[in-house]
Amino acid sequence: MEERILMGHGSGGLMMSRLIRDLIAPAFEMESLADAAVLEFSSSGKMVLTTDSYVISPLFFPGGDIGELAVCGTVNDLSMMGARPLFLTAGFILEEGLLLSDLRKIVFSMAETARRAGVRIVAGDTKVVERGKCDGLFINTAGVGVVPEDISMLPGNIRPGDRIIVSGPIGTHGIAVMAERNGLTFDPPILSDTAPLNGLVADMLDACSGIRVMRDPTRGGLVTTLKEIAGEARCRILLQEDAIPVLAGVRGACELLGLDHLYVANEGVLTAIVEKQGAEGLLEVMRKHPLARNAALIGEVGTEADGRVLLETDAGGTRLLELLVGEHLPRIC
C-alpha cells in the first residue's frame, strides 16, 4: 500500500523527525532542522526568519487562545536563535460559520500580545473555506528578527560539561488544552504557560556570553527537544528527574490521562545549554524575570558522542529517553 500522512507525522516525535529529515530537509537543501534560520548578509549583518502554522483545538483554552499562541510561538522561535523579533505576518484561513465575535476576540488578542512582545504585525492574508473544511480557524505566521554578529545558537557549539537549564515548570500548556478538550477541571486550575520569551532571552544574553543553544520545547515536550539537540550535536545529555520542575497538578493530570509530562508541550518555557562556568550566574538572573522564577538546573552534557538522552530517576535508576513514535497530544499548537 502507498504510504499516507498520519496524525503522528505532526506529533513532534519520531515520525515527524523522519519526515523532515528524509523528505523535506533534503529537498530544500536545509542545513538545520531548527524552527528559524539565520540568514547572512555581508552588508547588513544577520537576519532571522521563521514561519509557523497553528491548528490548535479548541481555539480558546485556559490561559490563552489561538491568536496569542500564534504570536508567542513566532516570537519565541526567533528568540531561540538569539534574535530580537521585529515584524510578523498573519494569514487567516477561516471556516464558513465561524462566529465573528470569536474572530474579533482572537484578532484583538493577537494585537495585544504583539504589543506586549514589542513586535509589529505588518502584513497578512485572509481566506475563507466551506463549512467543515477548516475546523473553525487556522493561522499561519511568519516572523523576522535581527541577531548580533557575535551570537550563534547552534547545537555544534555544545561541549562536554555544559549545563542544561529549563526556565520553568513543564507540561502546563499541553495539559491545559487537553483538559479543556475533554471537559476536565482541576483545583487549582491548570493554565497554559503561553508567553513571549524575547524579554527573558534578552536578559539572558546580556548576563551570559556562554549560552550554547536555546530551544522552546513545544510539540513533543522537553525530551523531544533535547533529543533533537543531542542528535544534531552528537552529544550525550544527562538529566536529573528530581531537578525538573513540574506542577503537582500537571503531574497528577498526566497520571490520570496516561501521559508522560516529559513529552507534554510547552509554550512559555525555554531550555538552554550553557557553559559550566556561567550556569549558576545565569540561573540567578533568570529567576529575577517573572517568566523564569522557577528556573532550574536539570542536567549536563556528558563526554559520550552518541546522541542519547538519559534520565537519572528518583528511584536511583537510569532511563533511556527516546522520541515518541506516534501522536502524544494532537492539535496542541
- Give residue 331's pLDDT: 87
Q: For the chain (length 333 residues), average pLDDT per consecutive 10?
A: 76 80 80 70 75 96 97 98 94 91 93 95 89 93 93 94 98 95 89 98 97 96 96 96 96 91 97 97 98 98 96 94 81 89
What fold does the segment set 32-147 form as a domain?
60s Ribosomal Protein L30; Chain: A; (3.30.1330)
Residues in the chain: 333
For CATH 3.30.1330.10, list the domain ranges present in the chain: 32-147
For CATH 3.90.650.10, list the domain ranges present in the chain: 155-321
CB 77 within 8 A of CB 143: yes
The CATH architecture one would assign to domain 155-321 is: Alpha-Beta Complex (3.90)
- Give residue 213's pLDDT: 97
Residue ranges of alpha helices (H) inside the chain are 14-19, 25-28, 66-79, 100-117, 172-182, 198-207, 221-233, 248-257, 276-286
Residue 25 makes CB contacts below 8 A (sequence gap 6+) with: 33
Question: What residues does 94 pair with on adjacent strands?
Answer: 128, 137
Q: What pTM, to 2 d.p., does this model score?
A: 0.89
- Give residue 248's pLDDT: 94
Question: What residues does 95 pair with on adjacent strands?
Answer: 129
